[in-house]
Structure 1
Amino acid sequence: MSDGGYEHLFDEIGYSRKIFKEEAVLFPDYVPSYLPHRDSQMRDLVNFFRVSLESPGKVSQKVLCSGRVGVGKTAVTKLFSSIFTKEASGRFGLKFKSISIDCRKERTLYSVLQSIISSLDPYQPYKGFSARDIHRMVLEHLENDNSYLLLVLDEVDYLIDASGSDAVYELTRDERGSGRMNFIFISRSPALMGRLDESTKSTLLHNQVIFPPYSAAELRDILMQRVPQAFQRGAVDDEVVTQAASLGASSGGDARLALELLWRAGKRAEAEGRSAVTPEDVRVVFGDIEGVPNEEELLSLPTQSAVTLLAVARALISAGKERIATGEAEKEYLTVCEEYGIEPRAHTAFWEGIQSLKGLGFLSTEVKVERKGRTTMIGMNYSAVGLQKVLEGLLKRGAERDEQPPID
């Protein structure tokens, strides 16, 4: 390194990016103006909160959004809150404020209320006051300002874990009957209902918005929406998108994971100076996130399973694709068997081996319908290059042991 310092490093990255155009589009905080495959959930929220606009103050609305990680709960509520407050002021002439609180960070009733009053009135002194006093300040502020609040409590499970269900009850209690506060609770736990007080539970039982896991096809649509904005033209092709969507679907229909895979794969390609991302990049970074099978796990595989897995890995590397046809895998399987002196299985037994490896989580399959008929395509859930290296070492050592003469 010269004495000139490090300033030149920014020259290297700032002006001629081959992979990314705007990588922040792939981050969890980014919310596009349209969320594919979440029209139903958005419509449900509109229907639940219609009364808050048409009859403000008549009722304090409470809605629960539930579903596992990465299914769009936070993104939908963020987009809904933005649209809702604009509609409130533009069409209905109402002052509706939206505040979102992450309960992973604010885990007590006091800290939640502190965040609310700080957002509503930064100059309002609250130190030394009890949670109930601050709650009263919030309601008084809304009344004096003739405004209403849509409060989103994301990851509300953390608040209940730390402070009990009474925290939710105290927060939603409206002794003044002003109907000024409205609530969206976001939870990933199916058991949340059983932890709430009867009054809140009774309301939320009828006011639920369910977020099912995304399918691989739905995840593909989500990724395809982001690719043109996030990546340079030609940096990411359909094979790469399909690989990320498939792995996201296999991990619980997780859109966050699928987007992270695309981003990490892009960073890997960029670090290596390439101008395009490959399906192998996606498989490698998936292994970095989820972990990869170690040598001990692979040692437990029967020899035929190890040979079959190696054949699929090699065929995928050779093709440079996300998936290969069964025929391509079987052709490579015969080559691997010959290389290691192993008797190959018949087609039916080979196919059963593929299904067994799928059941163990190594492989995935999908049926492709073409004019000539149906073809089963095989994909891999881990780095093909990484598995190839380990499996070749294991099979080589096994072959060397078999070749050793018996000890007299």
Structure 2
Amino acid sequence: MDIFDKKESNVKSYCNSFPVVFSRAKGCWLYTENNERYIDFLSGAGSLNYGHNNDQLKDALLNYISQDGVTNGLDMYTEAKKAFLTAFNTHILSPRELDYKVQFTGPTGTNAVEAAMKLARKVTGRNNIVTFTNGFHGCTLGALSATGNQHHRGGSGIPLSGTTRLPFEDYAGIDGLKLFEAMLVDNSSGIDLPAAVLLEVVQGEGGLNVASNTWLKRLSAICQKHDILLIVDDIQAGCGRTGTFFSFEPSGITPDIVTLSKSISGYGLPMAIVLLKPELDKWSPGEHNGTFRGNNHAFVTATKAITTYWGDHDFQHHIHQRTDQISQVIQSALVQFPNILVRSKGRGMMQGIECASGDIAGKIAQTCFQNNMVIETAGPEDEVIKFFCPLTITESELQQGLHIFLSAAEQVSQTYTRKAS
């Protein structure tokens, strides 16, 4: 560990919770340099929906590399990009009757959010972007202005402007959409007519808060009535994590703009895109660009992931089965450990369990790690245990991980029972 402590910046974070040196990974398993095995319920913060070193994706990538396929193509036309666009349109957009153009941005989610916000402002000629409490959209300045978490906002070094924050659904018992409607028609409300509304359907870092279909339909109707663009940040909740490829599908709404990153490449390779309705494509050539917006290796694995897992309904059925498996354990845990666990959170395989405090959640996560599981917490006080295993995990593997969690919860519950007595 000495080289990391001496040479790596203090900004590192995940390694502080998981202080071992990993050397290889496969499926839902991580292996240390000492060949100790950990089950992975973090999945690269949602960037590894298809697991580590997925054989089908790896073979496609190795074959492409062996033929000297283009690696970085900037935004030039390549066969890899053509194959991705064709597969994405055939298996994702067309079956859902979605008509979007695809913008390749810099390879991070925050860059896709920056592009979406810039485009909304360019198209509408307005500045204000409405965002929501507990939302997380990235750590570059534009995306950070839309992020609620004070820990991240505090690192900006300058005032963050250009956004108006509203309560997310069920935030402190406030009907944020009723407030939004009232403010839009009141000339003295102090809110500038927004260019767009930006939200996560399931707030990942914010604590797995879920927007209901009814709430989303209300929001969409408000935006349409007032000519406000609706942007869905599906960077963490997309690519099947909530049970459908896009998190907004069950609501029946059609966002004007969608951002995707994390698992869109399928293999953990850097890639991000913005989906935009054709009439919104007002960009001038090169107006938003980035050297690595043409990561052709990511295009190759993304294409293979889409054609392998989204060509039929079998994979989605698998996700639903594993979702039920997680849900059953969460409900059982709530009954078994009412002194430390509060309620279930999230949707699909983006579920978690809220603890009575961040301290309790942290102790459960730490105990899980001591028993060879990598799992993280979320929420404003880190009070939510976040189950984020690969979507491809088997029933048996998932059961192993859930058993570790239950054992950890029991151990922590007994500690707090003794304290109470």
Q: So what's the TM-score if we normalise by structure 1?
A: 0.26
Higher relative contact order (CA 8 A, sep 6+): 2
Of Structure 1 and Structure 2, which has the larger fraction of its residues in helix?
A: 1
Larger radius of gyration: 1
Q: So what's the TM-score if we normalise by structure 2?
A: 0.26
